[in-house]
């Protein structure tokens, strides 16, 4: 059993996880999560971009 300590960005507390994964398995899992996080951000950006630059959106938000 391997214990992994994680401290998420901007968090004071650590998260401790016990796992049967090897160090290599943990690294692969982290890479997978990083890739998914990046893909989600990219998809969100592209989706927002379609509406963000419409004149109607500009008019709706210009007072803020």
Domain that holds residue 54: 2-61
As a whole-number percent, the residues of the chain with pLDDT over 70 amount to: 97
Instruction: Look up residue 48 and give its two tokens.
Output: 């927002």
Instruction: Please state the φ and ψ torsions of residue 7, each to the nearest 5 degrees.
Output: -125, 100
Tally of domains in the chain:
1
Beta bridge partners of 3: 18
Cβ proximity of 60 and 53 under 8 Å: no
- Pairwise CA distance, residues 17 & 61, whole Å: 43
pTM beyond 0.75, yes or no: no
Cβ proximity of 19 and 2 under 8 Å: yes
Residue 11's pLDDT band, with cuts at 50, 70 and 90, is confident
Residue 20 has pLDDT above 80, yes or no: yes
**pLDDT single digits (tens) 25-49:** 888 888 888 888 888 887 787 777 7
Inter-CA distances, 55 with 15, 28, 47, 59, Å: 45, 44, 16, 6
């Amino acid at each position: 059993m391997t214990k992994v300590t994680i401290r998420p960005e901007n968090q004071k507390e650590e998260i401790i996880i016990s796992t049967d994964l090897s160090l290599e398995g943990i690294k692969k899992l982290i890479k997978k999560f990083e890739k998914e996080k990046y893909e989600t951000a990219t998809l969100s950006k592209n989706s927002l971009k379609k509406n963000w630059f419409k004149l109607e959106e500009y008019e709706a938000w210009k007072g803020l």
